[in-house]
Structure 1
């Protein structure tokens, strides 16, 4: 790590209040995105290096190899390293404001010190969430302001870039603040969060709910108690039964059949009653609904004597992970709608006082463009109105180009990790004014776990290394190399065993 506050060079050429350039002092090493400082008696200007160029007036590109070689071997050369920086702001009395000062040529430029960077990126605020460190400056912690999440957050990255890791860090920080957190988890990526360092329990306020359909790769041994996420059939209205059966809202004929079956139910009004009611509808209707009846029989394990409700999964300081793995999308849509709609109703009616943060993993599957399902309607409603009632979204996706742009544009803060798809980059540009061309250009070069933080939860755009998780991570990519090693070892053991059997046969016969 280079010494902070050290001299780097002097400003040269044409400078303005937004951009400046400086010639680098011989022997100094500097990297793109490094932070620099220009000090004055009553204020300091902080900037970030966006471009580094090396120039020689002698070694022109038309000189040819032999000409260049003569200059190099005779040590005749005049190389000038020029850095171009953008102004982040002016720091006066510990506060960062938009810079309006002119930077003149011949002004000394220094590497930004820990103190001034900490004042900018990790201010001592009550609502600070610790998310990591500055890239290239592990001595400077980075925090975001929880109040910036009032207008929702998007976490965007291609597969394997660290979006679930980053989401887990935000969940940990919100739990420390006492927030109520709900996670819609389609692939059981967050179910191991109960475990902390060394396998110890991280928090007693993390609860995991799973349906009998779950295919998540975990058990009581590695997560502890897992609670049932079930429905009591008698609590369901006809429209809800149709949703569970995968009958779309515009399939009015099938929905009418379900309604007729429901109205003819007698006795306990449970699933068996519902299926028996097929005998009371016309044969042609019975034929139309038969495939859906077979499906609901197949998933009958989701029905129980009790419906999991709001008081189970919403409580101050509680993180509730709703394991949706093993479900078809429309069934996941129904369970998710039931949860977040109940939360929204409770907040609108003031039945629950405290802020609720809803994390939606694989959000592009719940709110693709042009959809008008119940789950998409509810998410859109929370995106537009939720902040008035204390319900906040964290939208997590690897395909911002395939998510409803009205919802994405309502997320006024973003954690953006590596993104390479041009359509996804364009979607990000269209969704937020704070995302500049320079930020978009750099997204492809980010390493795993590196992120650009922009929007209302930070003072200025930040390029950060997301900190290590305190909780255990689930999901993630399969380590092919290590699994192949184990496969070869098992193959060799099997060959050895088979060889032993053959030798025994030869000795004893048979």
Structure 2
């Protein structure tokens, strides 16, 4: 389908003659595309404003597979109700499933302006002929296309591109009571504070600049947590979801309203807080605590959703094998390991075809009593029985591996439900009391997040999501390697090009790996008390060509802010929009909130 649509759009552009100069289309997609084609119309060369017509064919009959493709297409197309210049057309002849989740997703898709179109055999014949013609490129083809205009007979293109000559209605921004708007000079941005000197002027950071990461160095009582919260809240107001690690129970109230407006709110903050709370889905997750809302790592994918596609099924099998192999000590190059991998691969391939939900326990049970014919290798049943014991031992030693709870899926953590602008997934670490447990969990989370963002890049959106790491020195310390140091540094150096912004916060700048500040274009320095940490902060500031001489005398809520290459400015950070009392929640309260949230 991508090749057919590309041919149809290319011919359509030629048919428009001189008018076609304003149009272009995306390059050919990858082997597993989220979108099959996209036509763009340039509206303004200066601002690079453009209108988009995106296309995705979904033939999958399985409800989960169809739903997954629909959701991914909506994200990739940037389809929202307040973006009339972005359109998405789903090509599907079958009706959607009647399931609740599918109905909700289809309703949100249609309310945002998406349309489902049918494709008949006549359309496919014309598109195939155009594909072949364009590949052959005979003489006078362009003149023939302009004269004959064959795409006018392609009903699906006629329906989708009927208004190709009309300009989409401009977006009307909601009135803001504050003097500064969230967009400065046409660039989406957010206010991170007001200058302490120089007339109380707002200090902004472009939303896209957060792709290049943020570092916050500030001690206890500095207002660091308030700054983190306001960054997350302001991003949510602009439709950017976040995953927030909460090691100290300071961030579990991100979805709670202030009982009374706080004294330090500015004009308009009450209205912003109401919009934030109304449009943001805040979810608390509690890995390691079944009484809350636990997260687990499930190595077995949804085999049923890809069973009808041999390539996708094979990819799912390989993904499962890759996740299990290191847990059962088969990641060596010995003959024993290679035989074990072969039996495991054959068993997973067989198990995925069985009816019902695939679970790690079910796979272990199958390995323990391997049926005849699953593997042709000699001693396959003995090898499988040993694998079953190793797999069960891995599940006992690590309850997060294949245990009970919601499988870790960054798509779930970052995708808001219908009717919400953004989702904030607060991952409480109360169920992982030791540093090693937390580091192991964060390592796997970051690897999953890195893989997901590579498959689902932000594209033309200024920012695709935030990953917030408080007490960052625990996960990427200086001078030693932890289980998650490598994945943290990989994210810091690579995630920006896919549109994921990282926020590193720490009370101990000297204790943080030195590659983290170097990868953070936006930096905040708040009050520090320890002489060692103060000197470390001053050295970092000097590396950016600025000074923070009175950092020990800063008041609560005051920071030196360096926004993407600009010199440091002393700012007063705004109060957060959600409730933040002096004392954090107790662990039991966090778990109770997560449980209520799950219900």
User: Who is 2:23 aligned against?
Assistant: none
Q: Which has more strand, going by share of residues?
A: 1
1:187, distance to aligned residue in structure 2 (A): 4.1
Does the Cα contact within 8 Å between 1:261 and 1:274 map onto a contact in 2? no
Q: Any conservation in 1 of the 2:446–2:488 contact (CA below 8 Å)?
A: no
Q: Does residue 273 of the first structure (1) align with residue 362 of the second (2)?
A: yes
CA distance in 2, matches of 1:295, 1:415: 40
Pick one of 241, 252, 255 that aligns with 1:194. 255
- The secondary structure found in structure 2 opposite 1:472 is coil
What SS does the aligned partner of 1:202 have?
helix
- Residue 232 of structure 1 contacts residue 303 of structure 1 at CA under 8 Å; is this kept in 2? no
- State how far apart, in whole Å, the 2-side matches of 1:289 and 1:383 are: 33
Q: Which residue of 1 aligns with 2:103?
A: none
Structure with higher Rg: it is 1
- Out of 240, 245, 253, the position equivalent to 2:323 is 240
**Residues 158 and 281 of structure 1, relative CA distance in 2, 3 Å threshold:** farther
Q: Distance in 1 between matches of 2:581 and 2:328?
A: 29
Please show how residues 310-325 of structure 1 align to structure 2 within 5 Å. 310=411, 313-314=414-415, 317-325=421-429
Counterpart contact for 1:187–1:323, Cα < 8 Å:
no
Cα deviations across residues 182-204 of structure 1 (Å, max 9, x unaligned)? 32334443232122333877133
CA contact (8 A) 1:156 1:415 kept: yes
Cα shift readout 1:159-200 (whole Å, capped 9, x = no counterpart): 342222111111222223333433233444323212233387
Aligned length: 345
Structure 1 residues 50-449: aligned runs within 5 Å: 125=185, 126-135=187-196, 140-146=200-206, 147-198=208-259, 202-211=277-286, 213-214=288-289, 229-235=295-301, 237-241=320-324, 262-263=344-345, 264=347, 267=351, 270-276=359-365, 277=367, 280-281=382-383, 292-297=394-399, 301-303=403-405, 308-310=409-411, 313-314=414-415, 317-325=421-429, 326-327=431-432, 328-329=437-438, 330-347=440-457, 350=459, 355-369=464-478, 375-433=484-542, 438-439=547-548, 441-449=549-557
Choose 151-160 or 192-201, whichever is displaced more.
192-201
Quick one: distance in 1 between partners of 2:427 and 2:403? Answer: 15
TM-score where L is the length of structure 1: 0.54
Q: Does the C-alpha gap of structure 1 residues 257 and 448 become closer, same or farther in structure 2, counting only changes over 3 Å?
A: farther
| 8 Å Cα contact 1:212/1:302 also seen in 2 | no
> Contact between 1:157 and 1:163, CA under 8 Å: does it hold in 2?
yes
1:56 is matched with which residue?
none
1-structure distance, mates of 2:480, 2:454? 20
More displaced stretch, 312-321 vs 459-468: 312-321
CA distance in 1, matches of 2:343, 2:247: 31
Provide the residue aligned with 1:490 in structure 2.
none
Partner of 1:101: none
Preserved CA contact (<8 Å) 1:185 1:322:
yes
Contact 1:209 1:322 (8 Å CA) reproduced: yes
TM-score by length of 2: 0.47
Change (3 A) 1:456 1:249: farther
